[in-house]
Chains A and B, each alone.
Chain A
Amino acid sequence: MPECLKPMKRQHLKILVCVKQVPDIEAIAHSDDPGTWAKISESTGFRMNRYDEYAVEEAILLKEANPGTIVDILSVGPQRANQTIRRALGMGADNGIHIRTADDEYLSPFLIASWIAAAVRSRDYDLILAGVMSEDGMHGQVGPMTAEFLGIPCATSVVASRISRDCASFQVTREIEDGLKDLLLLHFPAVLSIQSSTNKPRYPALSKILRAKSLELEVIDFDTFDVRTSPERLTEVGFPQKTRSGEILQGSQGEKAAELLRILSRKIPIR
């Protein structure tokens, strides 16, 4: 174990996990009217961003390894986002904070990060975790921007983290390209953005779900924050251009199966 950089202020860790509620991507259909941010229909389901599930799991693992650790959950989103906070509580987190926004407006990562930073600045977290990116916006910026707003270091694409028994040192593994891993020693407090890994996010336990249902969340209204504009602006939403012919096979399932084999047999040998 490497030497300690700076001992923690206290015996127990205080961790915040930032989670986002995202729509079911499969349920989003092509509309004739692109141009606005995500027209989400009534029937679209919502769930926790998958990378955030890994972040919650990482926090719960740290809590299990370091008894006494507190894990809080924060989400920026409309009213319905409280379901996602409660799911994280069901996974084993302690308290929920909801920065409540207007319905389904587009929020830039800059705004989200500045609000998170403003809300938690005085709360003294040792560690702030976020997913490596959200599956809807795919920016990958909220974690590292929050760190910068708070003036603390950050590591992204983290697949493993380990705190020594005495809570003195803290080692993280970042997954990088070409099958390589970047090992770092971090200074508390810090922000980590968590990449999916073999740590399978747990299902909420029934007893915890019941507790989560009755737990009061702390609600902060977004208009209590001063920052309202971003350095960049979304001007258009559309659909990707085709890069290949994209021929769609027609017919019954059997006809499509036969046609596929015919097409493949012209390309490569078949046994």
Chain B
Amino acid sequence: MEHIVVIAEHLSGRIRPVTWELIAFARELKRLRNAPLSVLIPGEDISAPAEEISARTGCRVLAINTPGLQSYNSEAYKEILAAQLRETGATHVCIANSTQGLDFSPGLAIRLKGACITGVEKVTEKDGRLCFLRKIYNGKMTHTIVSDVGVTLLTVEPGVFKASEDEIADCHPVEYKNVSWHSDRVRNLGVEKSEAGIDSALNEADIIVAAGRGIGKEENLELIRKFASLFPRAAVAGSRPICDLGWLEYGRQVGITGATVTPKVYIACGISGATQHLTGMRGSGFIVAINTDPNTALFNDADLCIVEDLTTFIPAVIGEYKKEKQDE
């Protein structure tokens, strides 16, 4: 008997939006396997988020009230979830491919003698088996993986499955249970805001010109800035490596650990298109990718692909712009 379980993700009393996507993904599994689905939410003071999930989705929700577990703790999650998933008889466990999900899932899988498949972007059925598609090589290629064991943990890539609109088939009251937990191996000292918030310029811009590792050296940021200055409402952003290098502030980083942006136009210069970057900009109106590699991952998710060396191409664009201005 199969049983699909979703682990809801929450932080400071709020459900993280990826949870709705997990439920959409789990419903796809449910359709394929015709198996029951339930949602687990561990933590302290979780009745409000548990009731919200129940009200919005009509799913069976089990709130595992855990005194003292104010915020995520890997030791607690592994212990509490291992026990509960065994009790539920879970066969497919849907978890966010977030820094939290990736923190506890691999260890939890070992504990359950299960399989762990991370970064799942698609599920299909072949010869009666579920096949899970995930990206490799910074998004350039894909893997299809099947599980050979009874319990499979799936971490689902955020931003891929559309949160299904309220689809309340039948309503179940939230079930509550209390568990206690104590360990000193990992102790939480609190969650802090980083110094740099997300730069508001990124949300206000019509067009974002973004620099990736392909710019090669810091001086080439000047090209990116000049390119952006052709447009009245433009902002400059970067991929994570550019911010790690300190060439742009973290407030300008686009991606899963940076800003999510939706400008009318997004121009990616020397950015390969790894999923973690894509998550932050895939909602842009029109996506242009400039890359020397004709097989770069981002070309799959762009409207316009330009196979060029940005260090000569951007000057050519600026030259062309000046020429047209003169002709006007």
Measured between beta carbons, the chain A residues less than 8 angstroms from B257 are 175-177
| B299 and A184 form a contact (CB under 8 A) | no
- Can you name the residue of chain A whose Cβ is closest to the Cβ of B258? A179
With an 8 A cutoff between CB atoms, is B218 at the interface?
no
B198 in contact with A179 (CB, 8 Å):
yes
Residue on A with the closest CB to B71? Answer: A182
The one of A109, A197, A240, A256 that contacts B244, using a Cβ cutoff of 8 Å? A197
Contact with A along B273-311 (1 / 0, CB 8 A): 001000000100111100011011101111111111000
Q: Indicate if B139 sits at the interface (CB-CB under 8 A).
A: yes
Are B141 and A238 interface neighbours, CB within 8 A?
yes
Closest A-chain residue to B245, C-beta based? A200
* CB < 8 Å neighbour of B232 from A26, A233, A253, A271: A271
Judge if B326 is at the interface, Cβ distance under 8 Å: no
Q: Mark B70-99, 1 if CB is under 8 A from A, else 0.
A: 011011001000000000000000000011
Dominant secondary structure of chain B at its interface with chain A = mixed
Tell whether, in the assembled complex, residue B264 and residue A268 are in contact, meaning their CB atoms are under 8 Å apart: yes
Interface size on B, as a range, is: 35 or more
Complex: how many Å from CA A43 to CA B136? 20
Contact flags (1/0) for A1-36 with B, using CB distance below 8 Å?
010011000000000000000000110111000100
A182 contacts B301, C-beta separation under 8 Å: no
A254 CB-CB contact with B under 8 Å? yes
B223 CB within 8 Å of chain A: no
Shortest distance from the beta carbon of B53 to any chain A beta carbon, whole Å: 19
Q: Are B145 and A156 neighbours in the complex by a CB distance under 8 Å?
A: no
Q: Which segment of B21-29, B38-46, B184-192 sits at the interface?
A: B184-192
Distance of A52 Cα from B241 Cα, bound (Å): 14
Q: How far is the CA of A34 from the CA of B16 in the complex (A)?
A: 36
| B15: chain A residues within 8 A (beta carbon) | none
What residues make up the interface of A, taking CB atoms closer than 8 Å to B?
Answer: 2, 5-6, 25-26, 28-30, 34, 38, 109-110, 113, 135-141, 143-145, 147-149, 152-157, 171, 174-187, 190, 196-198, 200, 230-249, 253-254, 256-258, 260-261, 263-264, 267-271
Q: What are 15 sample pairs from A and B whose C-beta atoms fall under 8 A apart?
A: A137-B136, A138-B119, A138-B275, A140-B118, A140-B119, A145-B116, A180-B192, A181-B192, A185-B189, A197-B244, A231-B115, A233-B146, A257-B313, A264-B288, A267-B285
List 13 extra interface pairs beyond A25-B137, A138-B138, A187-B186, CB under 8 A: A26-B296, A143-B106, A177-B98, A180-B194, A235-B131, A236-B143, A243-B300, A246-B304, A246-B305, A248-B299, A264-B288, A270-B321, A271-B231
